[in-house]
Amino acid sequence: MMLSMQARLVEAVLFAAEGPLAPQEIARHAGLEESVLPHLAALADHYEGRGIELVERGGRWHFQTASDLSHILRREREEPRKLSRAAIETLAIIAYHEPVSRAEIEAIRGVQVAKGTLDVLMEAGWIRPAGRREVPGRPLIYATTADFLSHFGLQSRRDLPGIDDLRAAGLLDPVDLAMESLEAQSLLEKDDEDD
């Protein structure tokens, strides 16, 4: 399949980019005034089934190693960054409830959020400040980033697993399951009393 000159320009811009790019950025760098979406679709088709593929994550496009080959190209020396339980909980709250303020995170978790927790997530590039809530005190609110989506292989936040998915994977805390069961039993008993 022969690519058009415009598609080749888009390909060159993406190849040289340091990170994922939005379509508007791609058009600007390629000097194109038309929409680049048809060219991105043509390139995605062109690279389908090859060693690298063109993917879109969170509205931004980049080349990546084909998922079935990525294990071969892993770096020998990875620097694992283990997140604390507090950081994982905070990230999950932000992902599922964004945009969310520190006070809202604390209300959901039931404990204070250490400033360092949010700093670690921002350094990882997974969360970002998303403005200020229009309430007294104008607290800063946080949201996830395109890097978060890319790292976890998500197209959008809609792809986050639901409670049934988490339960099926065995990822829910047994205490949470027991509490949920007690709440359901309590509701059933209350219904029986009302009858």
- What's 51's domain CATH number? 1.10.10.10
Q: Would 187 be classed as within a structural domain? A: no
Give 135's DSSP letter: S
Do 44 and 119 have their domain in common? Answer: no
Do 97 and 138 have their domain in common? Answer: yes
Contacts of 8 (CB under 8 A, 6+ apart): none
Do 101 and 165 have their domain in common? Answer: yes
What total number of domains does the chain contain?
2
Q: In this predicted structure, what is the pLDDT of residue 14?
A: 92
Place of tokens 């998500």: 154
Nearest to 124 by CA among 68, 154, 84: 84
How many residues are there in the chain? 195
Do 103 and 154 have their domain in common? Answer: yes
Q: Is the pLDDT of residue 158 over 60?
A: yes
Do 129 and 171 have their domain in common? Answer: yes
Q: Would 156 be classed as within a structural domain? A: yes
Do 61 and 95 have their domain in common? Answer: no
Do 117 and 174 have their domain in common? Answer: yes
Domain that holds residue 147: 85-182
Output the average pLDDT for the chain. Answer: 83
Residue burial 25-61, b: 16+ Cβ < 10 Å; e: rest? ebbebbeeeeebeebbebbeebbeeeeebbbbbbebb
Digit-coded pLDDT (tens) for 43-77: 999 999 888 899 998 899 999 888 888 777 766 55
Q: Would 118 be classed as within a structural domain? A: yes
Q: Would 45 be classed as within a structural domain? A: yes
Cβ distance 99 to 141 under 8 Å? Answer: yes
Q: In this predicted structure, what is the pLDDT of residue 150?
A: 85
Q: Would 76 be classed as within a structural domain? A: no
Q: In this predicted structure, what is the pLDDT of residue 142?
A: 93
Instruction: Tokens for 19, please give them.
Output: 């990170």
Q: Would 78 be classed as within a structural domain? A: no
Q: Is the pLDDT of residue 192 over 60?
A: yes
pLDDT band at 38 (very low <50, low <70, confident <90, very high): very high
Q: In this predicted structure, what is the pLDDT of residue 21?
A: 93
Do 121 and 175 have their domain in common? Answer: yes
Q: Is the pLDDT of residue 16 over 80?
A: yes
Q: In this predicted structure, what is the pLDDT of residue 177?
A: 56
Do 92 and 124 have their domain in common? Answer: yes
pLDDT band at 155 (very low <50, low <70, confident <90, very high): confident
Q: In this predicted structure, what is the pLDDT of residue 27?
A: 93
Q: Which of 13, 30, 65 is the last residue of a domain?
A: 65
Q: How far is CA 19 from CA 13, 35, 50, 120, in A?
A: 11, 20, 20, 20
Do 91 and 177 have their domain in common? Answer: yes
Contacts of 57 (CB under 8 A, 6+ apart): 20, 146, 149, 150, 154, 155
